[in-house]
Amino acid sequence: MSSHIVLRMRDVNMSVRTGHIFTKRKQVLRNINIDIRKGECVAYLGANGAGKTSTFKAISGLSSIDSGSIIKHGTLSIMPETPYFYKHITCRDLLSLMGKLNTVDDINQKIDAWSHRLNITPIMDKRIGQCSKGQVQRVGLAQVLMSEPDIVILDEPLSGLDPVGRRLVISVLLEQSMSGQTILFSSHIIDDVEKICTRAIFIRNGSIAHDEFVKREQYRTPPQTALEKVFMDVNQC
Amino acid sequence: MLNVNKVYAMATMTIKESIKNRIVYAVFTASAMMFMMIYAVASVTMGDTGQIMIDTGSGVITIIVDIMAIVMTIESFKNDREGRNLFVLLPACGCRWRYITGKSIGLMVMSAIITISLLTVLDLSAMLYGHVHPISIFQSSITIVEEGMMATAIASLFAQGSSFLASILMTCATVFAGHYIYIIKSFTNSIHNVFLQTSGKMISWILPDFYSISLRSSAGYINAYDWSLLFHITCYVIFEVVAILTLSAIIFSRKDIS
């Protein structure tokens, strides 16, 4: 693994307004220091309200930070927890237009490849509003991965997915990580996190509480539980 | 830095989404009913039917298009913000001004498409049922389209606010005041208090002048307006739209996305 740092956060502090313009600001990030190297797959873990999404917003420039610095080397793509997208356009149109926004080459080929990989080919001509939450989640993932960014940020990529979809997304993320893509993601499903990540960072009350490297090799083949096997049999997967 | 392709992609996405927006269908339904009423009134009123249709029809279209442009623009920005679309769109756009420009251009094109389709029906009906001068009607129609685009730009500025209702009210107030700017100007000229005079001048300078860009008053009656007048109006509208979108982009670039 290359030691080239693609994302560096130094003493990042961030606060948000809790109401109107004159109300007090609430500190959501406190002295965050993170170095993420190229090819790392980092799980960003914490309880609800710990500051995971705030960190992602700070990294992607959606929210301004009060102090500190965030240095990114390369392109960045982010998938929010519940991607809403435009309800009236089809999945294919969305991927095509997002491809143009991300200046992707060979858009149609990549759309076909990723829709096949994420098992969303049958819904490609459906409107986003007609798709289920899990399908939209996979369309969102296709949109992020299609542009081949240097850093991929995924906020709860496994939420709302059925067991089949979850296994599929886990295997896609594993593949991407093995191929050297830098991934930063959050999840509450610790079992799944262990299968994917090479490093886990824990955040509590806006501060980094723990940072640990994980041996992923032993989790490379996700074990199938008895109920998962029944689910797959019932759904003929 | 400029990257027109990204702005174009953003505009295309906005048009594709807006074209299926329920507001557009509501506008077409309301306009169809309005046209029938206008024709009914024009046919029983003394005077040229086509001329009365143009007078009332273009006035009604202006109001409908302004309201539609305002609601559609503010709703579109609100949906992007609340639906967390910005999480995906802003990193893809690179710079925030590309998002604002692309989105506003998309909405302006939508507003123009709707206005042109409504005006085409009205103008052709008026020419069919009466004796009107088509060139001045065409010139007036261009200014109505431009007016809708200016209302969209103003709405995109006030859409940066967090309250949907406040954004609608502020935009409507600005557009309304812009239509009656001549009253502010004449009031400013008639008073002698320096402070009030300066304030009045500043307000009339800041407000977009919807009154002067309208060529509806003699549309159909005269053969044609002076083309240089139309050129000046178009230049003014372009200047206003660019200035408002620049201000909008500056405000948006400093905004935290929640």
Overall number of domains in chain B:
1
Residues of chain B whose C-beta is under 8 A from some C-beta in A? Answer: 3, 5-6, 8-10, 12-13, 16-17, 19-21, 79, 83-93, 254, 256-258
- The mean-pLDDT minimum among A231-235, B10-14, B169-173 falls in A231-235
* CA neighbor of A97 nearest in space, from B175, B93, B216: B93
Distance (Å) from the alpha carbon of B53 to chain A's nearest alpha carbon: 36
pLDDT at B187: 86
Of B9, B21, B90, which is closest to A97 when you measure between CB atoms? B9
Residue A200 lies inside a defined structural domain of this protein: yes
| pLDDT for position B112 | 93
Judge contact between A195 and A222, C-beta under 8 A.
yes
Measured torsion, CA atoms of residues B69, B74, B76, B82, in degrees rounded to the nearest 10: -170
Cα–Cα distance measured from residue B167 to residue B258, given in angstroms and rounded to the nearest whole number? 18
d(CA B249, CA B97): 5
pLDDT in tens, A22-55: 667 888 999 999 999 998 999 999 988 889 989 9
Structural domain includes residue B177: yes
**H or E segment to which residue A201 belongs:** strand A199-204
Which residues span the domain enclosing A7? 1-74+150-159+179-237
Chain B residues lying within 8 Å of A60, measured CB to CB: 87, 90-91
What's the confidence (pLDDT) of residue A237? 56
pLDDT at site A20: 65
B130 assigned to some structural domain: yes
pLDDT in the model for residue A21:
64
Residue B107 pLDDT: 94
Identify the residue among B84, B95, B96, B255 best suited for mutation to test binding to A, counting A beta carbons within 10 A and taking the highest: B84
DSSP code, position A218: G
Domain annotation covers residue A171: no
What pLDDT was estimated at residue A222? 57
Give the chain B residue nearest A19 (alpha carbons). B162
**Closest alpha carbon to B163 in B254, B245, B251, B82:** B82
In CATH, what number is assigned to the domain containing residue A22?
3.40.50.300
Inter-chain CB pairs, A–B, below 8 Å: 84
Helices B49-82 and B134-158: crossing angle in degrees, nearest 10, is 20
Residue A97 with chain B: CB contacts under 8 Å:
9, 12-13, 16
Residue B1 is predicted with a pLDDT of 57
How many residues are given for chain B? Answer: 258
Q: What is the mean pLDDT of residues B26-41?
A: 83
pLDDT at B94: 81
From the CA of A129, how many Å to the nearest CA of chain B?
11
Q: What is the pLDDT of residues A109-143, one digit of tens each?
A: 999 999 999 989 999 999 888 888 888 888 989 99
Q: What is the mean pLDDT of residues B71-83?
A: 88
Residue B42 structural domain: 4-253
Whether residue A166 is contained in a domain is answered as no
Sort out which chain A residues have CB atoms less than 8 A from B91's CB and list them: 60-61, 76-78
Number of independent structural domains in chain A = 1
pLDDT value of residue A74: 86
Name the residue in chain A with its Cα closest to that of B10.
A101
Q: Is the pLDDT of residue B67 over 70?
A: yes
H or E stretch including B179? helix B164-179
A contacts of B20 (beta carbons < 8 Å): 88-89
Residue of B3, B8, B13, B251 to mutate, interface with A, max A Cβ within 10 Å: B13
Tokens coding A115: 């829709």
Within-domain flag for B133: yes
Of A40-54, B34-48, B68-82, B131-145, least confident by mean pLDDT is: B34-48
> pLDDT tens digit string along A43-52?
999 988 889 9
Q: Is the pLDDT of residue B3 over 90?
A: no
Residue B258 lies in a domain: no
Per-residue pLDDT of chain A (237 residues; tens, 9 = 90+): 446 889 999 999 998 877 666 667 888 999 999 999 998 999 999 988 889 989 998 998 888 899 999 998 888 888 888 766 788 888 999 899 889 888 888 899 999 999 999 989 999 999 888 888 888 888 989 999 998 888 999 998 888 788 888 888 888 888 888 888 999 999 888 888 888 888 999 999 999 998 888 876 554 555 667 776 777 677 665
Contact B92 A98 (CB under 8 A): yes
Q: CB-CB: which of B6, B83, B257 is closest to A84?
A: B83
B118-122 average pLDDT score? 90
Select from B87, B93, B258 the Cβ nearest to the Cβ of A78.
B87
> Looking at residues B79-107, what average pLDDT do you find?
87
Burial pattern A144-175, b for ≥16 Cβ within 10 A else e, equals: bbbbebbbbbbbbbbbbbebebbbbbbbbbbe
A163: closest CA of chain B, how far (Å):
26
Cβ count near B44 (within 10 Å): 9
Instruction: With beta carbons under 8 A apart, name residues in chain B contacting A95.
Output: none
With CB atoms and an 8 Å threshold, state whether A60 touches B90. Answer: yes
Do B62 and B216 meet the contact criterion of CB atoms below 8 Å apart?
yes
Query: For position B165, what pLDDT does the model report?
Result: 92
Tell whether A218 is covered by a domain.
yes
pLDDT of A123 reads 92
The alpha-carbon gap from A55 to the nearest alpha carbon of chain B, in Å, equals 12
Residue B233 within any structural domain of the chain: yes
**Is residue B173, in this structure, part of any structural domain at all?**
yes
On whether the CB atoms of residues B210 and B175 are closer than 8 A, the answer is yes
Distances (CA, A) of B69 to A26, A153, A223, B112, B207: 37, 35, 55, 9, 18
Most confident range, picked from A126-130, B128-132, B243-247: B243-247
* Beta partners for residue B21, in sequence order: none
Six-digit token pair at A177?
A: 């990580």
pLDDT at A63: 87
